Structure 1
Amino acid sequence: MAVIDDDDKLTPEEREAKDKADRSREVEEQAALPYSWKQELGEVDIAVPVPKGTRGRDLNVIIQKKKISVGLKGQEPIMGGELCKDIKVEDSTWSIEDQSVVTVHLEKVNKMQWWENVLTHHPKIDTRKIQPENSKLSDLDGETRGMVEKMMFDNQQRQLGKPTSDELKKQEALKRFQAAHPELDFSNAKIS
């Protein structure tokens, strides 16, 4: 069963207006969180504001494979809950900067997947709209960059319910073979 995406029915102007509205809503939702965050394919960095003068010993920070909690000792956590994806606990760290911001660095287990949110109960972002920094992508050698770009394309295609690059190649090969052999019946052919 094919997934029908309502965006496919929009005119370019309607799609642009919808994207702009979605992006505006997304920015507002993210700004309302008690922390800010950014990500690259392999990591997530979180900044949690705390009262000026806060020291490390005043904090209660818990980082687990699937959970995180950041807050002041004896108080409700400023942020806490289930992470949307697993992390490598041994490679994740936290520190306090300027006695006013707790910075948390999380290493993703799956370094080839964008996160939609940090905590499962918080608003999601549209990962199809993520534009990785070109400088970071261009820093990769040709083979690795090609692999990352292919994975990003395939991920986006899957989210849209469209064929991946490998599936497109198979479809193209079948079309070429059909054109070369019109005498054969391909009505029951399955591509796997």
Structure 2
Amino acid sequence: MASIQELDKMSKEERAAYEAKERAREQAEQDALPYKWSQDLNTVTVFVPLPSGTRSRDLQVVMERRKLKVAVKGGETLIEGELFEEIAKDDSSWTIESGTLTFELEKMSAHIGSHRWWPHVLTHDPKIDTTKIQPESSKLSDLDGETRAMVEKMMFDNQQRQAGKPTSDELRKMEALEKFKKAHPEMDFSNAKMG
């Protein structure tokens, strides 16, 4: 993946071609997984296609705080690995419908108010670029005020990082430093560093 400095050196056309190539690569990696998945700020949904005629009693399903496993009893393991992040096990569930096992994994981070996007479900699987995630507008408007403000801040910070510009927290620190400089013109700030 290109660095922000490398992206900045590209022309508009080169950057668009690079981003299209990256999207295609990412999509090919995701298509090769033995499952499909989606997410919102609170939940990761995983869809595992099952062999024809498979019922729940034919499966060994393990859903722990940091582990997920689906195997056909006496047969192959369909998926297995460590989850990207802890889930709220008691609030998560799985169901089988139309030949697909569906997990609804409640993100533990959402339970503690630290919403974040998962780059992948299992730590050994390829990652997606979470800076490209755009929540659906209609869903954004459904959020309560505090959560919506936090999502909008995350989106702004992701856009700023992509453009190589300061995030909202960095802008706030810079603003505070400027106010302090004006209040104390007698001080030398030439070696001041933002951290």
TM-score range with shorter-chain normalisation? 0.7 to 0.9
- The alpha carbon displacement at 1:131 in A equals 0.8
Alignment of 1:1-192 (within 5 A): 5-98=5-98, 100-111=99-110, 112-154=115-157, 163-175=166-178, 178=181, 184-191=187-194
- The alpha carbon displacement at 1:58 in A equals 0.8
Superposition TM-score, scaled by structure 2 size? 0.85
Distance verdict in 2 for CA 1:14–1:160, change over 3 Å: same
Gaps of 5+ in 2: none
CA distance in 2, matches of 1:67, 1:161: 36
CA distance in 2, matches of 1:109, 1:9: 39
CA distance in 1, matches of 2:159, 2:75: 41
Check the 8 A contact 2:66/2:84 in 1, yes or no: yes
- The alpha carbon displacement at 1:183 in A equals 5.8
**C-alpha RMSD of matched pairs (Å):** 2.4
More helix by share: 2
Distance verdict in 2 for CA 1:83–1:141, change over 3 Å: closer
Residue identity over aligned pairs, in percent, reads 59
- Tell me the secondary structure at the aligned position of residue 34 of structure 2: coil
User: What do the CA deviations read for 1:30-51 (whole angstroms, capped 9, x no partner)?
Assistant: 1111110001111100111112
Task: After superposing the two structures, state which structure 1 stretch, 129-138 or 180-189, moved more.
Answer: 180-189
Gaps of 5+ in 1: none
Superposition TM-score, scaled by structure 1 size? 0.86
CA distance in 2, matches of 1:17, 1:179: 46
What amino acid maps onto 2:148 in structure 1?
A: R
